[in-house]
Structure 1
Amino acid sequence: MAGTGVPGAGAGGRTAGELLVAGLAVHGVDLVFGIPGTHNLEIYRHLAAYGIRHVTPRHEQGAGYAADGYARATGRPGVALVTTGPALLNIAAAVGQAYSDSVPVLVVSPGMPLRHPQRGTGMLHEMRDQRAAMSAVARLSHRVTTHEELAAAVAQAFAEFAVERPRPVHLEIPLDLLGETGKVEPIGPIGIRRRVAAPATVTEAARALAAAERPGILAGGGARAAAEPLRTLAERLGAGVLTTANGKGTLPEEHPLAVTSALHLPGAAEFVADRDVLLAVGTEVAPTDWWYAPMPRPRKLIRIDLEPAQLAVNARPDIALAGDAAATLWSILEGVPGAAPSDAAPWRARLRAQARVEAARWLPWLDALAASLDRDATVVADTAMASYYGALGALPAHVPGGFLYPTGFGTLGYAVPAAIGVKLARPERQVLALSGDGGLMFSVAELATAAAERVPLPVLVFVNGGYGEIRAEMRDAGIAPFAVDLPVPDLAGLAAALGGRGVPLADPADLPGALAAALVHPGPTLLIAPEED
């Protein structure tokens, strides 16, 4: 195709497998994660010719998390290729997590042949309805039936990623169609703009914020691409800023207006209840952000969200702005005058103190980590106690996306494969995975992926002998701990067996030196820290 850098079709046209790869290439895809199988070989035939790098994780769930990490690091869709049946089900948990956290991931799989009987024949990897299974966890599961529909489906997926709330899409191509030839060209990117909130509501919001005596801002993951106007507006208003876990780092956490990212702390709810105007940007205001109760109600709530329907969920706003976060914030700024006094300092001090008390078990390690990492480093956290009780509130993030965490769906095993995706997307940045020994074992095989790709990846794992959070919940419920105390394998030996290194750490003072070595070692390094129960 002229001007695209994509090879043209031969005289006989392209197979659907080649058409898919050409469609990915014209949309700028240069890296995919996946595992080849009997039914998807026609896709793999063409990847190298179109300049698309392929990374092979050791499990399809790892492919999904790696694509998720790549997408969060770049803002571009992550792509995963799997085969039929069990492979597709393996990636489903990762797709569910991407849906929960609004991450653009495209999963491509073969499907049963075009004229395969509905009741099945016992064919290899046969499922009754792959599309129904994936529709339960993805925004859309689309089975194509022609070359023309395939070309359109790829373009539609990327167009929707660009303008809608980004959520995962599954594309299914019948395995017989993959090898059939058609004279169809891929459809290139469609020039589109994200929606902008209605001018009247923007003016109303600006007036309310300008008149506020105690304004506040709550920034979610949807605000990460709006860091500059968000900071500018916060400074003009003197507004303290809370963030969700996915919004952590949107305002650098050393900024005097950055209050906390740990919304479950008591002071965060009290801060919100004290606001006469609260602006919530790019957040569902979800129960999982606040953990134990819905967000308290400020006197007046303004919400900005890309998805209009979301504005009717969880916390109904007094002023609703349906539009792109950055464009809408810039528009609001036009109606907000210069700097105002701020009451953020005492709230910031109070919340910082609460966070450090909650994180006391891990605090020396987290402080050593904070002192050792670059400002633009990315910490990819698993659903581990050290993450949500510790790093969320007590490990500062200085850039948008500096802390990545699987909220909502709350999967385990996210950190290592997602960190691989981040590091491959941003090789110039320091990337660290943070996990517990229970969650690590869900995807520990991906250390072999990092080793094969020579990815410098420190993995800090806190060892508490199993599932520490559930153990604590059992005790709180008056249940003797049951099925949560697990023997810890030789983690250093396991890391070595998978092509990496294992470094036991006796004390936080050991961390800086071990971390410095791990950040330049061409492969994964498991940094093994003891944890008091």
Structure 2
Amino acid sequence: MTRAERWYTTSTAFLEALAEAGVRYVFANLGSDHPGLVEAYARARDEGRAGELPELVICPHESVAMSAAQGYAQASGRPQAVVVHVDCGTQNLGGTLHNAAKARVPVLVFAGASPVTQDGELPGGRNEFIHWIQDVPDQRGIVRGYTKYDNEIRTGRNVKQLVHRALQIACSEPAGPVYLVGAREVMEEHLTPVPGRAELFTATTPGALAPEVAARIADALAGARNPVVVTSNLGREPDAVVELVRLCERLAVRVIESVPMYVNFPADHPLHAGYQWNTPAPNPALTEADVILVLGCEVPWIPSLNRPAGNARIFVVDADPLKERTPLWHVPAELYARANPGLAARQLADEVAAGPVRAEDVTARYARSVADHDRRAADRARKARPRPDVITPEYLAVCVHDAIDDETIVLSEAITNFGVVSEFVPRSVPGTLFGSGGSSLGWHAGAAIGVKLAVPDRLVVSLVGDGTYLFGVPASAQWTARRYGAPSLTVIIDNQGWRAPKLSTLAVHPDGVAAANDDFGVGFAPGADLPGVAAAAADAWAHTVADPAELPPLLTEAVKVVRDGRSAVLAVRVPPV
């Protein structure tokens, strides 16, 4: 037996399996349950084999680790791994696991488990008081509402099979996170090295529309007076955007991006009909539509606020068209089809390309779309005019847009200013916009690290609220970014409070006491030096600005700082909540 084989354990095999499956990074928050992993990494470095294992990225907070893995997967299309400490670390993942689940992003989470022996029966048995405290009845149950698959590693002899199966499930549509646990004794088990067979665990191939279904939808679109596509996540596959453009240009179909988490359709295209968030009024493009294709979309509209006309024909196409893990969800469609949105867009584009079109109708629709697109552009320009006394969110967003280029990757987590970021920092290049996909705040902080590691030659800019910035555990995130050479620019839209709970309360109780007394409990007084957190933790460039005239030059300076390799945080004071 060679020296390497003598020390070959389940932990070594686990890390090898991740590497075999294409995992580049393990974002880790280590604990007492991970001696086997720590030793496996140390031995690999000592023996000159470190390059054979995924690179270990230490994250002082679990939410940063999970968001970094999600960001990397979103930017690269390849799943990454997260290592956390037993039940405590699993719970600290919290909302970030929700984000990955709702965004359908593949991430493998591994957590240790309390040792299963206490009298010295096996290596790795209990020898610290926390091993009793952390022994909970159903650790895997903590995550079961958010994972596609969970399992326990009970022996090292099939650990590679379990890892490859978990990643196979994570990457198969609809994608999502998976969770494995393993006790210390199991992770310390000595094994005979066995190569994995990752090529036998490929993800399921994307589903296509049945030919008759594709023909039915294509005929409906071709025969419509005012066809519309509503989408939010088709752009998770950048090539799908090209196919959607091809489909829409053939018939002059307008596109609404509802709660977009990606670039789904070029913002500068005349057929782009705008964005829909918590829009409190009917969307004209939606109410006028007689045929609507909901293509890769989670929430196409809010029924009580902006639903389409009652006689509109609606078709829903998605990898999960019924949102089977969402207890209450319904779009009144005449057809629901399970298919990959990008593949479906290509099929429909091929169908309409081969069929006849009413040229005069297409020309007239296109002309109306151009006019509407120009009108909305003029309206944006009016709203974004600088004021001498205050920085508005619209002006801030325009200044950010002017300071970056078309290839810059924007992470949007601006919450009540989501719509402002969409409209005033428009993205047209696929793969240059990402959102969390969920509603747990703070995703941007770790995601910026993951995105930068995935595409190191690109500028990464996050636009976030001040509350969101704090949710991101900025000290931990900025430290991690500095250690691993992943600088980014964070622009804080600082309204000194939580605006979202105030708007939610006003929507339900417009004439209530909270409204009458302006008593919402959402202010952040006394104010804090938010950029100073990043400066203290990671020597980041840090500034706060309230003067409109100072904003453009500060943004220019911040962008240069980041391109030169140092993170930057700029807090921009806007009217307070």
Instruction: Classify 1:527/1:10 alpha carbon distance in 2 versus 1 (closer, same or farther; 3 Å).
Output: same
| Alpha-carbon distance between aligned partners in 1 of 2:504 and 2:449, rounded to the nearest angstrom | 32
1:123 counterpart SS class? helix
**Structure 1 residue 251, shift from structure 2 partner:** 1.4
Contact 1:144 1:153 in 2 (8 A): yes
Whole-Å Cα distance in 1 between the matches of residues 90 and 329 of structure 2?
Answer: 31
The structure 2 residue matched to 1:91, chosen from 88, 93, 102, is: 93
Among 187, 193, 205, the alignment partner of 2:197 is 187
1:502 and 2:504 aligned: no
How far did residue 493 of structure 1 move? 3.2
Stretch deviating more after TM superposition (200-209 or 44-53):
44-53
Distance (whole Å) between structure 2 residues aligned to residue 246 and residue 67 of structure 1: 20
Aligned to 1:3: none
CA shift for structure 1 position 464: 2.1
Which residue does 2:513 correspond to in 1? 478
Moved more, 472-481 or 221-230: 472-481
The 2-side partners of 1:126 and 1:399 are apart by 49
Q: Deviations over 1:54-104 (max 9, x none)?
A: 222221011111111111111221321112121111112210111122221
Would you say 1:258 and 2:260 are equivalent positions? no
Q: Map of 1:118-517 to 2, 5 A cutoff?
A: 123=132, 125-183=134-192, 184-189=194-199, 190-191=201-202, 192-225=204-237, 226-265=240-279, 269-285=283-299, 290=302, 293=305, 295-297=307-309, 299-307=312-320, 309-310=322-323, 313-337=329-353, 340-341=362-363, 342=365, 343-349=368-374, 361-386=392-417, 388-407=418-437, 409-442=438-471, 443-445=473-475, 446-473=477-504, 476=510, 477-479=512-514, 480-486=518-524, 487-499=526-538, 500-505=540-545, 506-507=547-548, 508-517=551-560
The answer on whether the counterparts of 1:32 and 1:53 sit within 8 Å (CA) in structure 2 is yes
Q: 1:353 to 1:138 in 2, by over 3 A?
A: farther
The alpha-carbon deviation at position 223 of structure 1 amounts to: 4.2
Structure 1 residue 531 corresponds to structure 2 residue 574: yes
Distance (Å, rounded) in 2 between the aligned partners of 1:138 and 1:433: 27
SS of 2:533's partner is: helix
* Displacement after TM superposition at 1:478 (Å): 3.4
Secondary structure at 1:498's aligned position in 2?
A: helix
Q: Among the aligned pairs, what percent are the same residue?
A: 23
Paired residue secondary structure (2:134): coil
Indicate the RMSD between aligned Cα atoms, in angstroms: 2.9
Unaligned runs of at least 5 residues, structure 1: 1-7
Deviations 1:367-389 (A, max 9, x none): 11111211121111225333x24
Secondary structure of 1:528's aligned partner: strand
Structure 2 unaligned residues grouped into runs of 5+: 42-49, 120-128, 386-391
Q: Deviations over 1:197-219 (max 9, x none)?
A: 21211121122222222111112
CA–CA distance in structure 2, aligned partners of residues 504 and 379 of structure 1: 20
Q: Which residue of 2 aligns with 1:23?
A: 17
Deviation at 1:248, TM superposition (A): 4.3
Alpha-carbon spacing, 1:305–1:362, altered in 2? closer, same or farther (3 Å):
same
Give 1:21 deviation, angstroms: 0.7
The number of residues matched between the two structures is 520
TM-score (norm 1): 0.89
Q: Which amino acid aligns with 1:440?
A: Y
Return the structure number with greater helix share.
2
Shift in Å at residue 313 of structure 1?
4.4
User: Is the radius of gyration larger for structure 1 or structure 2?
Assistant: 2
Kept in 2, the 8 Å contact 1:17–1:43? The answer is yes
The aligned counterpart of 1:4 is none
Q: Give, in angstroms, the shift of residue 347 of structure 1.
A: 4.2
